[in-house]
Structure formats: C-alpha cells, structure tokens
Chain A
Amino acid sequence: MNRKVPDLVTASPGFWQQSWQRFRRRKLAMFALYFIGLLSMVAIFSPAIAGTKPIVCRYKGEIYFPCLGYYNPSWENPIFQKDRFRRVYPRNLQRKDPDSWALWPLVYQDPHRPVRDGEWEGLEGNPFGAKGQPSGKNWFGTYKTGFDVFASMVHGTRIALLVGFVSTGIAAVIGITLGAVAGYMGGVVDLTISRLIEMVMCVPALVLILALQAVIEEVSIWNIMMLLGLTGWTGMARLTRGEFLKLRETEFVAAARCLGAGRIRIMFRHVLPNALAPVMVPIVFGIAAGIQVEAALSLLGFGAPPPNPSWGTILHSGRETLQSGYWWQVVFPGLGIFLTVLAYNLIGEGIQEATDPRLADSGN
C-alpha cells in the first residue's frame, strides 16, 4: 500500500521566497523584469532577429550556421570565404548551389554594413542620408551612410547588457569579497581595506579609460568593462563591510564559531547569505550605471571601438546629423538606453523594497 500521505505541515517560506513574493506584487518592477528578460532574449538571439547571414543553411550537401559569425567571425565556416561569397549569401547560395536552402533571420539587415542593391531579389539597397527615414524595410531608419539602425540596435543590445553584467559582476566579486573580509576580520585588515576603498574611490573611471585608449593598441569593449568593474566596487564593499560588522556579533555566528567552523566558512556560508539582500540593490543600480557610462563614452567617441554597434555609438553619429533632421538616429537609441536604465533602476528599487522588511511592512 503506497498511499501518499498529505503534507500536514508546510514549511514556512524562507527569506528569499518571501522577498520574491513581495517583489512579484510590484507591477512596475515585474514589468521591468520582463523587459530585461526580453532584452536578454534579443541579445542572445540577435543574429536570428536581424542579419544578412542565414541562421542555418544547406550548402553543397552540408549544414552550416553562418549566423554564428556575428558572435565570433571565426565561427562562420570558411567555405563561404573560399567560394568567394563576399559575405553576401542570398544571391551566392542560389548561384553556387541551386539545391541549397537557408533559414533567414527575421529582418534582412546587417549591423556592420548597409544592404546594397541586388543582394536579395526584389529588395532595394538601403537608402541613406535624408532618405533613410524609418520605413517598412528599415524600421528605425538608416544611418547617413545607409546602415540599418534597427539591426545595429538589436546587435547593440549584446553590448549594452554585457557591459552592465560583466562590469558589475567584476565589481561585485571584488566588492563583496573585500567588504566581507574587512567587516569580519576588523582591526588592521579592516583599516587597510577601508583605506584602499577610499583610494579607489578617488580614481575616476572615465579618465582611466581615456588613458587606456592611449596605452593599449586595440582597446576592446572587454577592456572597458574590466576597468569599469575594477573601479566600481567600492560602494558594494562598504555596504558588505557594514553588514558584516553588524552580523559577526550575532548569535548564529557565535554558534557557528562554537561548532568549530572556520573563518572562510562562517564568512561565506553563514554571514554572506544574510548580508546579500542590501548588496543586491547597488548591484542592480551598478548595471544601470555601467550601461550609462558605456553610452556616455561612446557618445564622446571613446566607447566600443568600431565595428561594434553600441547604442551610444549610434547616438554619437545621430548627434552629428541632428541638424540635418535625422531624428531617428537619436530617438531610438536614446529610448533604448533610457528604457533599459529605467528598467534596471525599477528592478533595483523593487529588490530594495522587497528585501527590506521595514519597507515591505509599510506597504510601500
């Protein structure tokens, strides 16, 4: 007899579960979360949304995924190079192998070049200059030289999200570790780390990035993310330190110590999960700030080096043509940056309110 016994006792929800429940009640925050989710999907699947390379194709009896070339140029199979495709697939696939087939991205537009006449049968090349207004073919219009703004923005999403996540990720790892050590150990260690924090706070990230441009031959977006991460951890370190200072005096820490747990174990297994909630907030705000800094850098002409299409770069070129009346180069990327930063800020606010019992109870 294997009758299932109904659970008479339900476990009370834990801190994170409660927080999540509280978070879910905030419509704006949830909406922002969906938005970021959508953006992440766009970022991951950008080559399938806008591109001129087939997602998958059969050519001379083999299956290829040329769109992977958008992630890394070396992932695009060299056979197309050898067969002199010249990065133009539709025409050449037909011509060089009539039996070939291909599954195309939703929009036939490229972030790195304008679509030209005759690439796709019946499709005219991109208009440029004043004629590049938003249209059925170029949803967000074109740049002054004919690049499609929509394709650039879709592919730019990768950079926008990456910059936020990677730079804040680096900052979080450094900040939380140093903050935890300083707060838990106290004494000379705390003193040293606190001074280090103050020193790093004085280093202006923007100036460092500009200096980097002069030193390194090819500044990649990864260098910029690294620098943003290496300079942006101080806030988190301070918060973590504060939490640790408070928590190390609590009973559960004393209990763990009595049971013979090592320092590292106490710090990261026992204290950290309890200190994490307040730190989550600056992490989310940090992502928003990272996106903003990258956009600002690109706007100044020091951001993601070409050909990476970043939203800030599009804005930068839009600024120059604004007097010609090309509003679409400013409005769409501006809106993209605005909405993304707003979404992160809403999420951050949501987390703050959801994890802080005082705020939660106030029904705010």
Chain B
Amino acid sequence: MTLFTRSSLLVLLATFAVLVAGCTSHQGDGSGDGDTQAVTGTDADGVDGAGQQPSAGPSITTVAEVADQLAANDGDMVPLFESVPNLLADYIGQDQEKLAALNEQLKATHVQRSNSGQAKTKTTEESVEAGGDEKTPFKLGDLISMTEEDYPPLAKLIEGNKWVDKPVRDSMALMRSRQEKEKPLATVKEALGLKNTSNDTNLKIRSAMGRLAAINKVPIDYSATWNRHTSGDVKSTNPIMISSTAEFDVSGLTSFGLMGFDWTFTPFASKDTVVSWQSSENGLLDKVVIRDDLYWSDGKKITAHDVEFSFRVIMTSKVPVPAVRSGTDQLQGVKAYDDQTVVYFHPDPLATNVWNVNFPVLPKHVYEKSVADDPTLSASKYHVSKDENPVTGGPYVIKKRVRGQEIVLERRDSYHTVNGKQVRDIPHFKNIRFAIIEDPSTALLSMKKGDIEEMQLTPEQWKEQTNDNDFYDKNLKAYDIEWVYFYFGWNSRSPFFRDARVRRAMSLAFNHAEMMERHRKGMDEQSQGIFHRTSPWAPEKLPAAYRQDLDRAEDLLEAAGWQDTDGDGVLDGMVFLDPEFDGQLEGVKRLPFKFTIATSNRSDRIALCELLRENLDQIGIVCNVRPVEFTVLQQMAREHKFHAQFAGWGTGTDPDTSENLWTTKAIDSGRNYVAYSSPAIDKLFQEGKYELDPEKRRRIYQQIHLKLYEDQPYTWLYFRNAYFAFNKSLRGYNFSPRGPYNYGPGEGSIFKTPALK
C-alpha cells in the first residue's frame, strides 16, 4: 500500500514546511511562494528505476539495451538520453567523450527551448497582481498560458509523439523487497526490552521495529487507532489551501494524488491511483492514465476531469493559493481527454518536470459551481461547510475536529473496496487521531502516559528525559540522520552584512563548539554547508567547519572597515544606507555595529541567539535578540526586513530545490530571504538544471555548496537529526533523510498487531 505516495506533492511541499519549523513547533507556513519550484526535479536518484519497467516502442529498459541502442544509433544519442536521462548514470564510465559531446548538445537545445518556453508563459506574478484587482472579473484558469484551442486532439498527440513508459510503483512493495534482503539485527521481543543508549541499540531497535507485517508474517490490527502528535492546528482542510506542516500531515492522509517517491527520493507514479504514466520522447508531454476504480468519499467517481479542474483552480489569480501554485505554474496546460486520460504540457523538456505534474486534486463536482462566487474557497457558508466536512479522495475522511485540540481521521471503505471487491491495500489504522499539543514538555508527559503514540523529541528530551522506566514502560525511541539544517541568516540588504568578510567574521566569532556540546547535547552534527555529508550532492571533501577564532574575526572586520573609531566600545564603520531597507536614510553614513537577530519564540533558539550575542559582545558588536511569533518572523523574512535571523531548512528531493533559496530571481519570488545574489551561483544552478550527466551534475552542486560556504550568506550551525519516540504498540516505522514520514511508504507502513491491543 502506498498511503503516502498518493500525496507526494503535499509531501514535497511539506519539506519546506518543515523547514524553518523544526520538529516540534514549526513555522506554520511551510510553503509560501516558489514552493514546488523549490522541489522540482530529480534525476540521478531515479537511477535504480532503469531496467525495471517494461516499455513500449523504442524506449530503453536496461543498461544493456542502452549499449545496444548506442551502437545502433551510431552516436546519435540525443533522443535516447533525453527520454531516459536517468540511464545516464549507468552509462558513466563507458564512453566519456561521447557523453560530453552529448551533454553540450543537450544543453544547447534545452536553453533554446527553455527561452522559447518562457516567452510563451505569462509571468504568474504579474498576472496574479492583475487578478487581485477588485474590478477584474473572476475567470477560472486565467493564469494558464494555453487556451482551449491550443490543445491538440488526443489521437494526434499519440500519433505525433514517441512515448516512453515511466515507472508506476507501489512503495510498500519497494519496502518489502528491501526488507527481504535485510536480516533483522534483533527480534521484536528483544527490541522491546532494549533501551536506546548507543548506536548499536538504535540500529537494533530500528531494524526490528521497522519490519513490515508481511515480512515478519504478523497480523495487523485493522481496528486500531493511532494517536499522533502535532504541534499546530490546521487552518484549512482543503488540499490546495494547505501551508503548515499539520495541514500537510492531514492532507497527506485525506487527499488524492498521483505521484510519489521512496526513501532514496526516486520518483514514480503511485500504483494505487495510476494505470500508466508515459512521457513523450521530447520531454514536453506527460500522459497519465488514472484508474477507473477511484471514488470520492461522497461516492462520485474520481476522473481526469477533476485533475484538469484542480489545475484550473490553482491557476486562477483570484484564488489565494498559499503554497501549491509554485511548480504547478511551470506547466503550460493540463487537459483531460477522457475520464481516465490526462495530459500535462510542459514548455521545457527538463527531467525535473516530473515534480511539476504533482498537485493536489479537488472534487470538481463540489467546487465547480461555487468557486466563482467565493474564490477564497473559505468564506462562503457553502465553502465553510465543505471545509468542515471535506469530500476526500484519499484513504481517510475527517471524522471530528476540535479546534486547538484534536483532529480525528477515519478510514473509508470506499477507498479500498469497490463493489464488494478489495482493489487496494487496506490502510492499517481505522482511526488516526492528531492531538494538538504545542509545548514539547506537555507532549512528552502525554507520551509517557500513553495518550499520544509518537512524537519528535528534542535532544534534551532524548538525552535526559526519556531514559527511565517512566518512558520505557510504554515507549521506545529511535533516531536517524535527517537533512535538516539550522542557520543564522545574514541579510545582504542590511548595511552590516553586504560584505562577505563581515559574514565570515560572524561565523568565526560564534562559539560552535559550545553550541554542539551544551545546546545540542553532542547529539547533532555541525553543518558545513547546505548539503549533509551523507548526501550525494555534498563535496567529497567538505570545507573545514568553522571554529571560534575571535582574533581572525576582528581582523576580518577591520579589513572590512569596522573599527571602534569613536572609543565607545562598539565597532563602527561607513555604510551605504539603502532607502528601501533603511527607510528614510540614504547615502553613506557612519554607523555603530548594532543589529537585531530575530528568532521564533522557543527557548532553545533564543539560547543560541544569546550565545551569538555574547560572542559578538566580546568583539564590540551589539546584537539584540528579538524573539517573535512565527508568523511575524515569516513576514519579516519575506519582506527582507531584518538584519539577521535564526531559522532552518529541510531537504528537498533534488538539489535543484535549493535554487529557490539562493538564486537572484528567488529574492523576489522565492525564499532567498537573505537576498543573497551571486552570478556564479545563478549560473551554476542553471547549469545544474540542464546537466544530465549525474556525475557532472553532482560536481555542479558540489561547487554550489563550496561557493556558498565561502560566501557565508548563512552561518551554518547544525544538522538536526530525527529523534522520535514511538509507543511500543507501533511497528513498521522506517526513516528516510526526511524523517520517518513524508516519503513512500513512510507512515503508510506503520501498524499495530492485535496481540498487543
């Protein structure tokens, strides 16, 4: 069963919701602009997909065939590799020269097409501006660049293109085949008696408790309820309105989607919802045939028209879509040709297109008539009632919602059983209840009492509050590496941090060792840039981690023009005041080095900012710490109205997702909150998008990593591992670099056994 794969888009978006958030209380809005854009693209990760899917026509299925085709094509590899870019990985080392030539050629054509493609697409931003105008009449899909006449008939599409099969998979089956090859390090009984005190016990617990029911041949208690923890309430249950992690969590279980990816971030279409998925050889079209045994929770059939309608709603300027429009807006058009067949039109044949076809699906029959009257989808009486009791396409329906307290989901039979016949795996829990508890200490008390059955722990809780029998009576804990890093971001628009030398001085002034030892309890790893050392995108030799060196920091500051000239104990320097950032003041002025760092109002984060304050105080810089509410922090970040801030980012499935954090264009439309701009980085990201040779592509991102680390737009602090507590009744939890959920199968493989009821 692939519970989670169905909502892979949500998952993808959730990445960035987790971002700044941190585990326990995250920042409500995980999405914002440019979200999906931030998560577009994957190719090298899909390598293992090669050779598994039978395909039609001239397309390639195995590496051996690649070699054959290459021979037959006599070197003309363009169409070949364009259609199956992932196979390039297997080809590495076989013919470097040809590959290099091919890549050049590919890049040239891509750039050409990309340019023409962009010309065809309206800028969404501009159109949204126009659409937001009161006087502009409502027009469904006004942001879509293709008109009805532009869509060719299906027969012509099928005739006129060569089609390549893409993988359609069941993530549970993938996990099953992985576990079949793995020998468990302990039995469940042994693991239940263990205390997680070392890496060894951690591996044993994960290995034993992660085993699927099918592998261990144990029954599943399908009548069980799973009590989960969430630190925030949901604002909306409408899947296109989601933006906080809680909303992603709920939406992941209730909404309907077509795509997914596994723990290695390999994308595929979900077997539960898709019959076949094909791409045109030129990479400009994706054709998906969805299953005809899918029903909404109100009994109406789910069809391709729902997919087209959802696209149109998302691409309507009057509809205030907080997160899911970005990425989706990279599509030129979406067309349902019949109840089952939907075709996606791309302006540009990037391998990363695979993520853009991924958006949540709304029931057309529910919203078709009402959207024009209330484009907010949340104001009218009708929409409020639909938000309270949404018609869902996923495995669960919302049974009960008490604001600020809990959200209870119930499994719906019409999802897995149609006309008395089981057509999909039955989701493992009858009910899933999200208990909303903001305070981590309170949540841990509930965990010990057994009121909630999973939660993410802070390092402190892991190390000091979960070692006694009080905790182990009912629970186990497990951890794994998670690619989530935290940082101090230095706003390049602030008069203080335009100079890279100043930013480096900040990193040198900070006491990293004390942070790791006292604040992170020695449980996490110091971050040495945007990619985790275990990520394939990180340089083989990571740059040396920053260590506190106040002398060097002072020297750098002096070189950058910061000295205490007026003898007041605070450094001062000549700065250019940007009227846009500094308000009225304009021009050059001597300013004391006094700034404010903003952070969300959590004591562990405030404590780290306090450490920075103390360190900077030692070298004559006044740093005020300003704890603010999360939404305020977000707003400041979006408007670039801050000097420095403390926050964190989760990982996307592809390194291209970070484009939205670092490129110049992302300053206005993405999440480049620190307004960092470097032509070299812009160029590298552009190249990374078009580079199809995985090895070269990897090298590009390694360069990006190194260049960013050199410029220190952030002071990278630490990677936070995923520390989780699970009730002893739970089985089947496994980790990915995104934690135990948010991938396929993720939470879908978790179950309880009847014996333990």
Contact = CB atoms under 8 A, between A and B. Distances in A.
Contacts of B629: 213-214
Interface stretch (A71-79, A167-175, A342-350): A71-79
Contacts of A144: 460, 518
A81 B564 contact: yes
Contact of B518 (A84, A87, A146, A321): A146
Interface string A44-88: 000000000000000000000000000001101110111010110
A322 interface: yes
B441 A322 contact: yes
A283 to B, nearest CB: 32
Contacts of A322: 441
Contact of A112 (B596, B614, B622, B627): B614
B601 A307 contact: no
A317 interface: yes
Given A129-B521, A146-B518, A305 B625 contact: yes
Which of B554, B564, B618 is packed against the most chain A CB atoms within 10 Å? B618
Given A78-B567, A146-B518, A324-B465, A307 B625 contact: yes
B460 A307 contact: no
A78 B627 contact: no
Contacts of A145: 514, 518-519, 607, 611
Contacts of B626: 217-218, 305
B627 A129 contact: no
Nearest to B521: A129
Contacts of A130: 464
A120 interface: no
Contacts of A80: 569
Contacts of B620: 81
A307 B521 contact: no
Interface in B565-598: 567-570, 596
Which of B518, B567, B568, B625 is packed against the most chain A CB atoms within 10 Å? B518
Contacts of B172: none
Contacts of B610: 306-307
Contacts of B619: 86
B423 interface: no
Interface in B183-239: none
B465 A87 contact: no
Size range of the interface on B? 35 or more
A323 B607 contact: no
A324 B460 CA distance: 8
Given A78-B564, A82-B564, A321-B460, A214 B632 contact: yes
Nearest to A82: B564
Interface string B596-624: 10000101001101110110011110101
Contacts of B607: 145
B9 interface: no
A320 interface: yes
B465 A323 contact: yes
A323 B614 contact: no
A323 B462 CA distance: 12
Interface in B373-391: none
A305 B627 contact: yes
Given A81-B564, A301-B601, A323-B445, A306 B627 contact: yes
Nearest to A78: B569
A317 B620 CA distance: 28
A125 B551 CA distance: 22
A218 B596 contact: yes
A327 interface: no
B465 A74 contact: no
Given A129-B464, A130-B464, A307-B610, A323 B625 contact: no
5 closest Cβ contacts across the A-B interface? Answer: A78-B569, A324-B464, A86-B618, A81-B569, A323-B465
A321 B554 CA distance: 36
A320 B441 contact: yes
Contact of A87 (B441, B617, B627): B617
Interface in B541-576: 550-551, 554, 564, 567-570
A316 B627 contact: no
A264 to B, nearest CB: 43
A157 B591 CA distance: 34
A52 to B, nearest CB: 12
Contacts of B632: 214
B569 A76 contact: yes
Nearest to B551: A84
A73 B613 CA distance: 13
A26 interface: no
B99 interface: no
Nearest to B517: A128
A248 interface: no
Nearest to A74: B568
B596 A323 contact: no
Interface string B513-534: 0100011010000000000000
A77 B626 CA distance: 26
A363 B625 CA distance: 54
Contacts of B601: 301
B444 interface: yes
A307 B603 contact: no
Interface string A124-160: 0000111000000000000011100000000000000
B621 to A, nearest CB: 10
A301 B614 CA distance: 20
Contacts of B567: 78, 82
Given A217-B626, A218-B624, A218-B626, A87 B618 contact: yes
Nearest to A86: B618
B606 A306 contact: yes
24 contacts: A73-B569, A73-B622, A74-B568, A74-B569, A78-B564, A78-B569, A81-B564, A81-B570, A84-B554, A112-B614, A130-B464, A146-B518, A217-B626, A218-B624, A218-B626, A306-B606, A306-B613, A316-B603, A320-B441, A320-B460, A320-B603, A322-B441, A324-B460, A324-B464
Contacts of A307: 610, 613-614, 625
Contact of A128 (B445, B518, B568, B603): B518
Contact of B568 (A78, A86, A218, A305): A78
A24 interface: no
Contacts of A114: 518
A113 interface: yes
Nearest to B625: A306
B604 to A, nearest CB: 8
A329 to B, nearest CB: 12
Nearest to A126: B518
Which of A87, A145, A322 is packed against the most chain B CB atoms within 10 Å? A145
Contact of A129 (B461, B518, B618): B518
Contacts of A217: 596, 626
Contacts of B569: 73-74, 76-78, 80-81
A181 B607 CA distance: 49
A77 B569 CA distance: 7
A322 B614 CA distance: 26
Given A78-B568, A87-B617, A144-B460, A319 B441 contact: yes
A301 B564 CA distance: 35
Interface string B395-416: 0000000000000000000000
Nearest to A306: B625
Contacts of A323: 441, 444-445, 461, 464-465
A53 B446 CA distance: 45
A357 B129 CA distance: 74
A80 to B, nearest CB: 8
Nearest to A325: B464
A218 B617 CA distance: 18
Contacts of A77: 569
A93 B554 CA distance: 20
A214 to B, nearest CB: 6
Contacts of B464: 129-130, 321, 323-325
Contacts of A316: 603
Contacts of B613: 306-307
B28 to A, nearest CB: 15
